[in-house]
Amino acid sequence: MKNTIDALALKKAFIAGANNLDNKKDYINELNVFPVPDGDTGTNMTMTIMSAKREVESCKETMSDIAKAMSTGSLRGARGNSGVILSQLLRGFSKKIGDKTEIGVIEIADAFQKAVETAYKAVMKPKEGTILTVASSCAQAAQKASLDTDDVEEFFGYILSEGEKTLALTTDMLPALKEANVVDAGGMGLLCILKGALNYLKGGKEEPLNEIGQAAPVTMPDF
């Protein structure tokens, strides 16, 4: 049972999340039909987070340095709408953890909330059924889970589970997704990052990509 995450664990969990997104980028590109079907959401999100990963890998292993690297690296590397939103999520998250030495579920939940607030403010006309909707669901789940458990793994597992449920619902939120019978590509990308981080926290367990993204069944398999 892990009650806190130190700087080194955060660094490795972030890198694992970035790598998982990179591994799944081609599949995410195939889901990309909104706002235009240009098939680059996975690529743009990966370029964004890999820019942050490079800075995180080379920075000092203190929480403040890692938080700064996550934020500045993603902002410098942001590509496309999904990449810009991801960079703002990381920017908001980093603001809440930068002055800590260790973070537990309360601090992480607050960081999730700040991430969503920052991302929504950065978008002129936020659209539901996108990565913003999935991120908001994850933040709400984090607040709830922080009241029910101190275990970081259990906490992240609940967030991911709720995020998957919301991702499945995005199909019916936007006509373009419904017509193509897929979930939102940006939301999928975000969950891939969280899944990779959770895999690290569980001991580096790797799970294969399954064929997800279709509207039915609603229950999302592992990825």
Q: What is the number of residues in the chain?
A: 223
Query: Per-residue confidence at 211, pLDDT binned at 50, 70, 90?
Result: very low
pLDDT of the residue at 84:
96
Supply 23's token pair. 């591994």
pLDDT at 222 over 50: no
What number is the average pLDDT over the span 98-123?
Answer: 95
pTM above 0.95, yes or no: no
Supply 176's token pair. 């373009």
